[in-house]
């Protein structure tokens, strides 16, 4: 993926396995978000192709990819600040499971779905039941993040892309978000971009490290973090010139 002279994603050849949880690490500007944008259809790659379950989806629009089961948190989660947590979940569920309808009609029908079993289950699964009635605009960042993930999951995606789900959260909020993410492991394929990589370490099956658009390491967590090129590019540790340790 090129932007003028900048090659933001450079010859990335990557395969995700069904139901695995994989992570992407990389310094600022490494191309992680651009890679997500290419996967979700926000950008059409300058060269190369993207396959999903054997099908070439390179030219499909973001909504067409969502319909195939590829979801990215913010993409599915236009949250409504003036609606309660419960109604935000209802809308997310309704939108993906019912025929497209006008937003006005959607709001009117909302009430009928408030006690749908999928909604009740999501409230509990994401620890949102104590704040179900609270307006989205009154949530803390951690609560909002949990609501967004719940909304994405209610759409029942096969592939969930999370771009820095822990960004901006306090330690106490991180724990809550990790807890709900952990409950998704094994239910869908998950690709997480996260700088706070040690937090997601225990449920990552595989890691890739990107630098200047390219994948410079791929494999297990330890293996990647100990890779000489990763130490040099990501941690700025240069063993060849660092005799003092
Ligand atoms: N729409 C765009 N137009 C021009 N250049 C872009 C565009 N989007 C990204 N870039 C450039 O592509 C490169 C990769 O950016 P990207 O946002 O993908 O990095 P990132 O790995 O997500 O970084 P961060 O960790 O800071 O989120 C950067 O040099 C960025 O300036
Ligand atoms: Mg980014």
Q: Is the pLDDT of residue 245 over 50?
A: no
Contact 191, 164 (CB under 8 A): no
Q: Which CATH superfamily is domain 1-69+157-245 in?
A: P-loop containing nucleotide triphosphate hydrolases (3.40.50.300)
Contact 173, 145 (CB under 8 A): yes
User: Average pLDDT, stretch 209-227?
Assistant: 95
- Measured in Å, residue 194 CA sits from the centre of ligand 2 at 9
**Residue 209 forms beta bridges with which residues?**
25, 217
Alpha-carbon dihedral sign for residues 95, 101, 106, 112: negative
Q: For residue 242, what pLDDT band results from cuts at 50, 70 and 90?
A: low
| All residues with CB under 5 Å from ion ligand 2 | 33
Q: What is the pLDDT, as a whole number, of residue 101? A: 60
Ligand nearest to the CA of 35: 1
Identify which of 6, 72, 195, 233 to mutate to test ligand 1's pocket (most ligand atoms within 8 A of the CB).
6
Backbone dihedral region for residue 210 (phi beyond 0: left; psi -120 to 50: alpha; all else: beta): beta
Instruction: Annotate 174-212 with b (16+ C-beta within 10 A) or e (fewer).
Output: bebbbebbeebeeebbbbbbbeebebbeebbebbbbbbe
Cβ atoms within 10 Å, residue 18: 9
Q: Give the pLDDT confidence of 102-156 residue by residue, as tens digits.
A: 666 666 777 778 889 999 999 998 899 999 999 999 999 889 989 998 988 888 8
Q: Give the pLDDT confidence of 40-50 residue by residue, as tens digits.
A: 999 999 999 99
Q: What is the pLDDT, as a whole number, of residue 86? A: 95
Predicted structure pTM score: 0.87
Ligand 1: residue whose CA is nearest its atom 1: 3
The residues of the chain that CATH labels 3.40.50.300 are 1-69+157-245
């Amino acid at each position: 993926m090129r932007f003028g002279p900048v090659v933001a994603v450079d010859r990335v050849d990557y395969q995700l396995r069904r139901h695995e949880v994989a992570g992407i690490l990389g310094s600022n500007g490494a191309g992680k978000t651009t890679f997500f944008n290419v996967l979700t259809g926000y950008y059409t790659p300058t060269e190369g192709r993207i396959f999903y379950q054997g099908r070439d989806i390179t030219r499909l629009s973001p909504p067409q990819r969502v319909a195939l089961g590829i979801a990215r948190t913010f993409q599915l989660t236009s949250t409504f600040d003036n609606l309660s947590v419960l109604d935000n979940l209802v809308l997310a569920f309704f939108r993906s499971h019912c025929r497209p309808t006008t937003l006005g009609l959607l709001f009117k029908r909302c009430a009928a779905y408030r006690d749908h079993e999928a909604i009740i289950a999501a409230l509990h699964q994401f620890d949102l039941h104590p704040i179900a009635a609270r307006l989205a605009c009154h949530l803390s960042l951690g609560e909002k993040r949990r609501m967004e993930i719940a909304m994405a999951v209610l759409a029942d995606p096969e592939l969930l892309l999370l771009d820095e789900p822990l960004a901006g959260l306090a330690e106490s909020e991180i724990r809550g978000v990790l807890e709900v993410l952990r409950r998704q492991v094994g239910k869908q394929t998950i690709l997480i971009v996260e700088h706070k990589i040690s937090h997601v370490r225990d449920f990552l099956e595989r890691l890739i490290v990107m630098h200047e658009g390219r994948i410079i390491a791929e494999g297990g967590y330890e293996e990647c973090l100990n890779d000489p090129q990763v130490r040099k590019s990501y941690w700025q540790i240069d063993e060849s010139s660092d005799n003092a340790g």
